[in-house]
Amino acid sequence: MADRAIYRLQDMKAAIQEIDALLSGRTFDVMYGDKVVRAAFERFLEILSEASRSVPDDWKKAAAPEIPWRRIADLGNHIRHAYHKLDAELLWNVYEDHLGALEAAVDDMLVKHAPERDLT
């Protein structure tokens, strides 16, 4: 179980890094106007969401109880099933205002639960 959770944390970290690389230097309008960039952004959020489901709740609560973990898990379902009515501004808000705190929580859990692994 712990190995699986660590792999999912690494998936979350990779998705966050991909989002940062994809959107760095772009504005909302640029992202929204480019269907391929928007689709990639949504896919990375979906991966992040799905991976979060495999991280134990006690790890998440200890690392960052202020993060709405349930909403993160639900985001992937929303992207998959309500793709036709996604609020792009809400997703952009996740990128601008919440991804940093989420990455810090993921980093904290990786350090705490996988200190001997090469996490680069």
Q: pLDDT, tens digit, for every residue of 26-85?
A: 999 999 999 999 999 999 999 999 999 999 999 999 999 999 999 999 999 999 998 788
119 located within any domain: no
Residue 65: give the domain boundaries.
2-113
118 located within any domain: no
Predicted TM-score of the model (pTM): 0.91
120 located within any domain: no
The amino acid occupying position 23 is L
Report the distance separating Cα 114 and Cα 10, nearest Å: 10
Helix, strand or coil, per DSSP, at residue 80? helix
51 located within any domain: yes
Question: Rounded to whole angstroms, what are the CA distances from 120 to 42, 93, 95, 105?
Answer: 24, 27, 22, 16
The alpha carbon dihedral of 17, 84, 87, 60 has a sign of negative
Count of domains observed in the chain: 1
Report the distance separating Cα 28 and Cα 118, nearest Å: 34
Cβ contact 22:44 at 8 Å: yes
